[in-house]
Copies of this chain bind each other. A is one copy, B any other.
Amino acid sequence: MNKKTFALKGTVCYSETPNRLFVMEDAYLVCDNGLSAGVFPVLPEKYQGIPCRDVSGCLIIPGLTDLHLHAPQYRFRGTGMDLELLDWLNTYAFPEEARYSDPEYAFRAYSIFTEDLKRSATTRASIFATLHGQATELLMDLLEATGLKTFAGKVNMDRNGSPDLQEESAAASARDTARWIENCAGKYRNVKPILTPRFIPSCSDALMDELSALQKAYRLPVQSHLSENLGEIAWVKELCPDARFYGEAYDRFGLFGGKDCPTIMAHCVHCTDEEIALLKERGVFIAHCPQSNTNLASGIAPVRRYLAEGIPMGLGSDIAGGSSLSVFRAMTDAVQASKLRWRLLDDTLAPLTLEEAFYMATLGGGSFFGKVGSFEEGYEFDAVILDDFNLPCPLPLTSKERLERLVYLSDDRNITGKYVFGNMLF
């Protein structure tokens, strides 16, 4: 019996499918060597005598996945919410990211970010850093220490930045990226590098060529932005007049999914039919970021359509286009945004259900990390314990109602335990 073999006892909830929530009360959730061994009404004979943390009265859910966020923007979350994407980047995001040329600042700021991420219900995340290799490694050192399993990317941008936030050439960007990748090699157990071209307006064709070569050489996954905001999309059309749609500007460099290039594209608010078909064909993961899409007045993505097409999808907080680090908040934002889209824009796409939002936040996004986001046997054991002690109620609630209330109303005080790949964080 492995030292990572133990049980949690409580009310276990996880998504079996986008529409079906598994709930078992007074259940034993068994972790065997970092993997879930399943959920049982009675502890099976082979697990008799293993350590058991009894959190009866609490809910136990899979850890949440945040498929898209910018760590260096955490400082200004909840401020500067008065502009659309492109002006917002130039006014708020780029000046802040430029500060990360200073490792001392990076360490102070990233320490605050990683501490808060550790306390949240998130166990997996795919994170943008800045273009600075040294600061990105500092972030990765701090992420490693949290115990969370994450991807982190040094950003590439060789055009349309600002005087203090742009790499000097495609070659320089590629050289610094290669050095960063080499520095990471073998250094971390929990955090892995991910190739991170900021978005098409930030990356010349020459840079995309270099990144394509790096991707193939190091077999790295890729994250970027796609079809977020109307101004951005018009700009990409100008910059890449021969691309039939935005996504093709990534695809022609082999940086748009496919078997050997796992890819996350954030937003996908305004995708054309052709773009959606290619997302599906390539198995690109969509990171749906409803709060950011609202704050930056980008619009509302047709999530119901993506679900129906079977495109892999998770949720993103998109700090700091989004102001909340909570993936619970992303769940309720996703449901709410889908209702407004249905009411105002297109009543053929029914609003999302809580079950669907929960699925996206767990199994949907978790799948980018492998067998993650479920308690079915063989899934990596990421678990979060939720205690609704401070939400008194004059009536008994069903477990599903308790879960729904926690999704809508909880904060970090309700998160009383957290495990990643079988390791207890708290």
Interface positions of A (Cβ within 8 A of B):
75, 77-79, 81-82, 105, 108-109, 112, 291, 294-295, 297-300, 323-324, 332, 335-337, 339-345, 351, 353-354, 392-395, 397, 401, 404-405, 407-409, 411
Contact = CB atoms under 8 A, between A and B. Distances in A.
A295 B336 contact: yes
Contact of A79 (B109, B323, B405, B411): B405
A299 B345 CA distance: 11
Nearest to A106: B394
14 contacts: A78-B408, A78-B409, A79-B404, A82-B353, A294-B336, A297-B342, A297-B351, A299-B343, A299-B344, A323-B332, A323-B408, A323-B409, A337-B340, A411-B411
Nearest to A355: B82
Contacts of A291: 336
B79 A401 contact: yes
A326 to B, nearest CB: 10
Given A82-B353, A404-B78, A294 B393 contact: no
Contacts of A401: 79
A125 to B, nearest CB: 19
Nearest to A294: B336
Nearest to A109: B394
Q: Is the interface of A mostly helix, strand, loop or mixed?
A: helix
A354 B408 contact: no
B78 A407 contact: yes
User: Which are the 6 A-B pairs with shortest beta-carbon distances?
Assistant: A78-B408, A297-B339, A109-B394, A78-B405, A108-B394, A294-B336
Contacts of A354: 81-82
Contacts of A297: 339-340, 342-343, 351
Given A79-B405, A324-B409, A411-B411, A343 B393 contact: no
Nearest to A398: B79
Contacts of A411: 411
A298 B343 contact: yes
A345 B344 CA distance: 7
B112 A394 contact: yes
Given A112-B392, A324-B409, 14 more contacts: A75-B394, A77-B408, A78-B407, A78-B409, A79-B408, A112-B394, A294-B339, A297-B342, A297-B343, A298-B343, A323-B409, A337-B340, A340-B344, A411-B411
Contacts of A405: 77-79
A409 B79 CA distance: 10
A300 B300 CA distance: 14
A75 B395 contact: yes
A2 B354 CA distance: 54
Given A354-B82, A411-B411, A339 B404 contact: no
A20 to B, nearest CB: 15
A12 to B, nearest CB: 20
Contacts of A339: 294-295, 297
Candidate in A78, A105, A351, A409 with the most chain B CB atoms within 10 angstroms: A78
A184 B204 CA distance: 73
B340 A294 contact: yes
A80 to B, nearest CB: 8
Contacts of A407: 78
A350 to B, nearest CB: 10
A409 B77 contact: yes
Given A81-B354, A294-B336, A335-B81, A75 B393 contact: yes
Q: Which of A323, A335, A394 has the most CB of B within 10 A?
A: A394
